[in-house]
Structures are given as C-alpha cells and as structure tokens.
Structure 1
Amino acid sequence: MDLVIKILQFFLCFTILVGIHELGHFIMARIFHIRVEKFYIFFDPWFSLFKFRHKDTEYGLGWLPLGGYVKIAGMIDESMDKEQMKQAPKPDEFRAKPAWQRFLVMIAGVVMNVLLAIVIYCGICYTWGDTYLANEDARWGYNFNEAGHKLGFHDGDRILTIDGQPVEKIQDIVTALLITEGDRQVRVLRDGVETDISLPLDDLIAMRQEKGYEGFLTLRYPFIVDSMTSQAAIAALRPGDEIRAVDELRNAEFPEYQKYIASKAGDSVHLEVLRGDNTLQIALPVSDEGVIGVISSNQIYTPRTQKYTFWESIPAGIHRTGEMLSSYWEQLKLIVQPKTKMYEELGGFIAIGSIFPSEWNWQDFWIKTAFLSIILAVMNIIPIPGLDGGHAIFTFWEMITRRKVSEKVLEMAQYVGMFILLMLLLYANGNDIYRFFIK
C-alpha cells in the first residue's frame, strides 16, 4: 500500500506539471491563432489510452509516462513530421508567424511552471505558514554523525556562521554544505569559545557521495526539569531549572545523566543547576531504584511558524520561488563541473518517485510539486535542441540577426537534441537502477 501511495503521488504530480507546462504552449499558440494539432499528457507511440477531438485539436492521454506534448502545426518538434514542412506555410502555422510570437510560444511552458510554483508557494504560506526550527534556538548545540565528526565537528558545537553568513534555519545547514563549488568555512561555539572549521571541497564531496548528510546533525537534549516527584527534589528544584552537571559529568545530555544517576543508586549526587542567571550547587539523594525524583522536560525546542495573511502570502510565495530557483540553478551549475562529481548523483524516475512519502500529506505533496515545477522550468530553458530552450535560442537568434535558421539546420539540431536527451535519460535512470538494485 505504501508503494501505491508513492506511485499515485508521483503520477498526480507529474500530470499536473506536464499538463500546466503544455497548457502554456497551447494558450500562447491560441492567442496568436496558431493551429494546435495535438495536446497530450504523456506520450502516445502506437496508441493512446484516451482521446477526443475538439475543433482542430486532438486531446489525449498517452500510455508512456515520460512527459507530454503539444503538436503545433508548422513546427519541427519531437514528432519529426517532415511531410508538413515540405508544404508551403499556411497562415495558421507556427513557421508563418513573426519571430517574437514564436519565441513567446516556446517559453510559455517554462513561464507557466514558474507561475505554478508561485501559486503553490503562495497557497502553502497562506494555508500552513512557514514552520521551521531556528538555529539560534539550538542553544545546547548539535550531535553529529560519523561524517560530521570526520569533517571536524564535535558533539555540542553550536553553528554560528557558514562562510561568514549566519544560518537562520536548521534545515539550511546541511543544504549549505552540500551545495558548494569550493571549500566552506564554518564558525562554531565550542565550550564557550568561537572556533573555525575549514571544510575542504573534497571532504564535502565524499560526505555527499557516501550520503553522510543523512542524519548529519541532531539537536542535543539537555536535562531541563519539568516536575519533581520526591520531597528532596521538590524542596531543592524548580520547573525550568537546567541541570548542567552531575558530579564530574558535565555538558552531557539527559540520557547520559540518567544513566549516571542510576549507577549511584542508594548514594547521593551533586548537581550544578542553572536557574535564570544564577548557578546553584545542590545535593540530592539517589533512591534504591536509581532516580532522584526529577522528570525531564521533553518540550525543549518549539518550532517557529511565520503566519501570512492572504495578501502577505503573495510576496512570500514569490520570494520563496525565487529562492528555490536560485538554489536549483546553483545545483545545476555544480552538476556540469567535473570536480564536484554531482553528475554521479543524477537520478531518474525512481529517484523522483522516492521523494514522495509513503503516506498522503497534502502539505508535503504541494511542497514537492512546487519544487519539481521549478526543476521542470529550469531544465526546459536549457538551450539544448529538443527542449524549449533549444527552440527559443534559435528563434532569439533570428530576432537579433533578422535571418531565419534553415529548416534543415533545425531538423538536424532536433535529432542531436533528442540524442542528448535520450543519453541523459538513460544515464539518470541507469544511476537509479545501480543505486537501488545493485549498489
């Protein structure tokens, strides 16, 4: 059932993204009175699952879930319809229209995906707000996994800045370490002293390739008094007191203190307690059961939530879209740089599908749909023949030079682009197969 829910989310998301993208081309073509012969969600080689005709356009659902398309009359596209191109241009064909109109038709899909991301992020901000754990609230620092220790972090370190910039949200820390094309300088507060840690790019690449970012850091849980159950503890302590040391054990977490106190059953322990701005020294007996009658608070960290009114959600959604566009563009630049080795992490349909949870959560679904819409927009604007960016770049060249690129060149470019895309598709999905079934 978990797998079914993942698959349903993937197909619903993909259908929305492709449908909106192709709708952009369709609407802009209609605005300029260009004939659209087909509008398909998914591809339909040999047959389609469903189709109907309205006016001059055939609408349908293909069986091959690798995208979708609109077939615009008079345009060299993935259908490679050469017979139509041999005929004289008709007034309602793409090739008969001015270059600026053709340019707008080609970028309309990308624009629609960006607009979709904006609308979704606006809706998320208005409906759920922005909930996050603030880095400055992590007053007791973090625990790090093995990868973090290899990079030079110590348990209890508080992260202050990365490359001189303060980090607002905890979830941004790992992202900042993953998305980089050079070394990182991290300043931490360690035992009350600010310490700089230099993270070489090679070490960060190794951490990323070994998936050391999974569980990279976790919040430390101090011994904060919630309530007391023994007379001695009631007399000595107050709710909210922070126990900072038990005998010689210092700067530990609650489970460590608990284990140590249990080892002193029938004896007594000396506590160093922080109450407000005052530090107190308190001795408490340990029962034969190994407890001092203190219940620790489990409400240490409270997520912050930024709420938005309807009108506030609009600029917030636009800002968030801009941030995600910038972030993904940076990731894309790293992929084409051999030294980062991020090309080894490219994934296909299995990788995309795996990001969806095994239970349905609308907030999570829309967050992922918005991000994938941005990915689709960025990938399609890349000037590779066969993608919208490839078509647009030839049209833009025509607008500048006033010279139309020959149909023979466009045809050859389409073949080259389709070959490149096929190789990328095979490589990305091959990575999936290797990671999920072999590695």
Structure 2
Amino acid sequence: MLNVQDIRKDFPILNRKVNGKPLIYFDNAATSQTPQQVIDVIVSYYSNYNANIHRGVHSLSQEATDAYEKARITIQKHFNAKEAHEIIYTSGTTHGINLVANGFSSLLKKGDEIIVSALEHHSNIVPWQMLCERTGAILKVIPMNEDGELILADFDALLNEATKLVFVNHISNALGTINPIEYIIDRAHSVGAAVLVDGAQSCPHLKPDVQALDVDFYVCSAHKICGPTGVGMLYGKEEWLEKLPPYQGGGEMIAEVSFEKTTYAGLPHKFEAGTPNICGGIAFAAALDYMNAIGFENIAAYENELLSYATEQLLQIDDLKIYGTSEEKTSVISFNVGTIHPYDIGTILDKMGVAVRTGHHCAQPIMDFFKIPGTIRASFMFYNTKAEIDAFVVALKKAIMMLS
C-alpha cells in the first residue's frame, strides 16, 4: 500500500500555491512532477562531475561517463531489454519515433503499406505521413469505436503481405485507453511487419517488458515518469537497429572519418551523435529507481482507485460527458460539460488552483471522430489524492455555474 502523504513530501512543487490557492496538479499526462530525490541527482551532477563523456581521460569525464552508461543499464533492466546497446538515448518520444521513421526511408518502397491507429498522438502520425511522402508507401488507419477502443477486426482486415510497419500507442494520451498491444504485435508479426509502440503514456503507470512483448521498437519520455524534460529512450531489437542508417551525423557516432569515407560506430553510439543530455540520462535512471522503490503494482492499484473515484464523482454532474469509456483504461478522464467550451472551464479552474489540460491534446483525429473541438482532461498520478479530486469537483461546479 502507498503512503501518499509521505510520497507527497518528496515533491516540492505540491506545496506551492497558484492564484492564492493550493495547487491541484491534474495535468500529469502532459508532464509529471519531479521528486526531490531526482532533483538532488541533477544538482549533484552539475555541482560535482559536470563534464563531457566518452572522450576525456580526466577524472570528471570518466565519472560522468560511468554514471551515464550505468544509467543506460538501469533503463535496460527496467524495460528488460536483452542488451544495453539496444537502449538509445533520445530527447524524448518524438525524437525516437522520428529516428525510426527516418531510418525506414531507405527500407520502404512504393506500394508498401504502414498502419497507424486512430488513437495516436500527432507525433505518432506526422512522421509516418512524411515517410509515405518520401517513399510512396501507403498509410492505413485502424479505426476506433465510440468507447475509444480500436476495432481489432478491422485491424486484422488491414493486414496483408504488403504491410511493413505498424505503429500504435500503448495508452491513449487523450482518452486513457489501454490498447491490446500484445495482440497487435502478434498479428503484425504474423505477416512479417515490424511494430513500434509509443509508450509515452504507459510508462508512468505500468512496467513494459519489451522481450515479453516481443516488440521491435518501444519509445518513451523521462518527463512523464518523474524525470527531467529533454531526454527519453528508444528501445530497438538489435537486428533492427543494425539495419537502420544513422539519423544524424556528427561526433561520437563515427568509427573513423576521412574526406573520402566515414565509417560509423556500433550500437548504441551510431544513433547518438553529438554531446547528449548527460545529466538528463542520469536523472532518467534515478526517476526509474524512485518509481520502482514505490512499486508499479502499488502505483497501478492506487491510480485505478483514483480513476474510479473521480469518474463516479464527475458523472454526478449534469450534462457532463466522458470521452473514452474503455474497460481497460488508465488514470485519465477526458470530458466536456454541455456546450461550454473546454478552454473556458480550464481557465476558471486555473484561477482556483486546479491545473488541467484543455484542447485536442495533440490528438485531433480523435476529436474529429467525436465531432468536438476538444476536451477537458484530468490526469492523475500516484501523488494525487481523493481530497484533491473532491476540491476539483467543487471548483468545476463553480466554473459551470459561472459559465451557464
């Protein structure tokens, strides 16, 4: 069981006020907050051993290199990758997706087919559209139903021997739907297609095992897992990473350079050109350590409790409609109230200290499906409480009354 009050003491920002009110932070699907333990790791890096890595013979460089590569092993173990060099540091989920999309430019041909789902974030749509423009490949879409679930029979019908790649998020950022990625991976592999899973929204709530999933590529961002912004991870099976060309050229990703020819470094450095976010990588591992100490089973159980409680309280409000009602769902609630614009409600909630996200959540096709301009999204983490949900509901009712 979680001791939430003790956990909240680890997060300095939760003590602050916004517009004179205690902060209620329900925008965790956009970015999570950072515990003091991770902040201390960041401060320690810049205070004690800030140096460039892999190149220096001096002590600071060696210390920084050791910490950075030790962090890679921590990330490898967390996701159960077979090899540490299958973990590529990125600037975040979007970077990881673009790296793979760029690599497949040389592997696809006109008439090849790639599949995305109707539940995707723009970052898992636009790079593949760009890939199709470059290669002549054809983009197909797994449709969704009114509950915010993918229609798997239609996915099965889309698959054929021309299918080369399938891209799907593990959890929808806009609706909270947990997608059946095990089924999707298995079916895609049955026709020889590779699969990339966008894990940006899943990694804060569960612990993916990339070997058990047999996924080809898995991407995520540290800032949604209690870590810093500007760093993330691409996991790729070694055989796929060897096939893909480098994404960027520069220092560190080379073996030898002459004006006649350059040879590239092996994995993972082939994809890590230039000076990386060294502190970010180290802090990413510290954030995973922090969450593992709490326990992902404990986190999931408590967040499900918050989701059930918040759903029950919100549905008591007249004219409130929740979008995304899948049985398999994480702690995200997207909703609207009557004809009130979500932006207006979000603005008033902020005046009362409540941080929610409003808009299309970089998932405009989902909003188009429901024929709405956007939603109000409340997203919870393990440091949130039922008391905060109660205060949120009171504030929401006030906002509705002011706007009615």
Q: What's the TM-score once normalised by structure 1's chain length? A: 0.25
The structure whose residues are more often strand, as a share, is 1
| Greater RCO, CA 8 A, separation 6+ | 2
In our comparison, the structure showing a higher alpha carbon Rg is 1
Q: Return the TM-score normalized by structure 2.
A: 0.27
More helix by share: 1
